[in-house]
A and B are shown apart, each in its own frame.
Chain A
Amino acid sequence: MPLRLLKYAMSREHPAPRFFRACETPKKSYDAVIIGGGGHGLAAAYYLARDHGITNVAVLERGYIGGGNTGRNTTIVRSNYLTPEGVNFYNASVKLFEDLSQDLDLNLFYSTRGHFTLAHTESAMRTMRWRAEVNKHVGVESYVVGPDEISKACPQLDISCSGQAPILGALYHAPGSVARHDAVAWGYARGADHMGVEIFQSTEVTGIDVQGGKVKGVQTNRGYISTNKVLSAVAGFTPRVCKMVDVQTPIIIQPLQACVSEPMKPWLDTILVSGSLHVYVSQSSRGELVMGSSLDPYEVHSTRSSLDFVEGLTTHILDMFPFLSNVKVVRQWAGMADITPDFAPIMGKTPVEGFYLDAGWGTWGFKATPISGKTMAETIANDRAPDLINSFRLSRFEEYELTGEKGAASVGH
């Protein structure tokens, strides 16, 4: 990177380099086709090429890369989950994230802030202790702190929450971080492209050709592509893609909304989450407060945002930070979340041979981008899911072996 910058200093021309080739006509066949050019799909393409030498891969994106839930989340990376399976998995992701800027040669603005999950009731404190013990057991730095330590880390926070819901303590998670989410998608896209992966934007899959229980190809608006391996990494579109291959899942779609405030001088250097107030908030490197809340309460396949959401969220933000009453909300948006009954993802093989799922990412997908890409690449290359994601398999539902992940954000439990 520095050498490239130096070259620009010597030159009169400063053309913006393309991150990846603008592919338009797909080849007749690929070794693997990835549906969905979000962080997960592009990461899977990157690790397929880098770790498994499979470079004859097409990534098909209906819109533009990173324009789905990759660019709609609140960018928080953490691993303080409740089940050992969840903690191990997300911890592997945090580890990959820590080195990702170097790996991809792109500044992801990965910033380790520390993460407080606030508890306003005794029962919430009990859950925090439980999570802390599971985390410590697995080797993740999380522990329970009292109101004094929270005040020290964030003096602006009203510990009594306007007297409505006094904070009794918190689960502190040292590795909690934020990152520039679209850069993650672009970095993986560039890395995959350099190794030969072809990325097609504005390319919609309209059907998947299955013969005798095996994937044979995909039909797209740019023609038919034959392939024996298809990965679906499409976030809120999973039920539609699964319908094409007649695979049943428990996933339903609920919108998840978020918003940002106008930019301010830096004052909040930690990430704060409150399950009771349905709030998570951090300050971006641009100075905006990035705020999220709970899922919309029913199924809709739409990314429309609502006034109910900002009203509800900002009321609770003001309980925590009364001094923000004159700060304006400048943008709000929604993403479609794949919700599963146990708040854990669905990853790995399906009853259709050659059709792989990376789905059920609900409200917990961005933080898992590197590890899901890596484990799905391994699954596709070996036609066998690694042990790390075994408890997230689709067949767990018919086997009644649900994961019970209650550490997920923005879902009521």
Chain B
Amino acid sequence: MKLLKCPMNGVRPLSEFVFGGEVREMPDPNTCSDKEWATYVHHRNGAPGMKKEWWYHGPSGTWFIAERNTMTDEVARTYLYGQEDKQ
């Protein structure tokens, strides 16, 4: 069984979590071009590497960030959004 560390609840089985995709900057919809917006909506950075991702712990309703290598599936660290420095 794979495990993941929730910043609020500690190490839990992976089946309790939902993957939320890579953390991405949203361009300002009022000023960006249609092409930039379409890129934001549809395109993804699909190449492997170390990525910052959204994950959700279902039972406690906690959204948090995991830094994970998508090639090796190793998680470097997890933390609540905006609390990166407190870890």
Chain A residues within 8 Å of B, Cβ to Cβ? 238-240, 242-243, 248-253, 297-302, 304, 306-308, 341, 397-400
Assess whether A301 is in contact with B43, with CB atoms less than 8 Å apart. Answer: no
Query: B38: CB under 8 A from chain A?
Result: yes
Q: Which of B2, B18, B43, B72 contacts A248 (CB 8 A)?
A: B43
Task: Give the total of B residues in contact with A, Cβ under 8 Å.
Answer: 22
Which residues of B pack against A, CB within 8 Å?
A: 1-2, 15, 18-19, 21, 34-35, 38-39, 41-48, 70-73
Q: Which residues of the other chain, A, contact B48 by a CB distance below 8 angstroms? A: 239-240, 253, 301
- Chain A residues within 8 Å of B46, by CB: 238-239, 242, 249-253, 299
Cβ of A250 and Cβ of B38 under 8 Å apart? Answer: no
User: How many angstroms between the C-alpha atoms of A306 and B1 in the bound complex?
Assistant: 8
Instruction: Please list 23 pairs of residues, one from A and one from B, whose beta carbons are closer than 8 Å in the complex, sorted by A's number.
Output: A239-B45, A239-B46, A242-B47, A248-B39, A249-B43, A249-B44, A250-B46, A252-B21, A252-B44, A253-B48, A299-B46, A299-B70, A300-B73, A301-B71, A302-B73, A306-B2, A307-B1, A308-B1, A308-B2, A397-B38, A398-B38, A399-B38, A400-B38
Task: Say whether, besides A299-B70, A308-B1, A243 and B47 are in contact (CB < 8 Å).
Answer: yes
Enumerate chain B residues within 8 angstroms of A301, measured Cβ to Cβ. Answer: 48, 70-71
B18 in contact with A297 (CB, 8 Å): yes
Residues B70 and A300 in contact, CB atoms below 8 Å apart: yes
B35 adjacent to A298 (CB under 8 Å): no
Q: Are A250 and B42 in contact (CB under 8 A)?
A: yes
Question: Once bound together, how far apart are the Cα atoms of A251 and B22, in whole Å?
Answer: 13
CB distance from B61 to the nearest CB of A (A): 18
Q: Nearest chain A CB to B25's CB is how many angstroms away?
A: 15
Least Cβ–Cβ distance between A192 and chain B, in angstroms? 29
CB of B1, distance to nearest CB on chain A (Å): 7
Which residues of A are found within 8 Å of B15, using beta-carbon distances? Answer: 308
Q: Apart from A250-B46, A397-B41, what 11 extra A-B contacts exist at CB < 8 Å? A: A242-B46, A243-B47, A248-B39, A250-B44, A253-B46, A298-B19, A300-B73, A301-B48, A302-B71, A397-B38, A398-B42
Find out whether the CB atom of A297 lies under 8 angstroms from the CB atom of B43. no
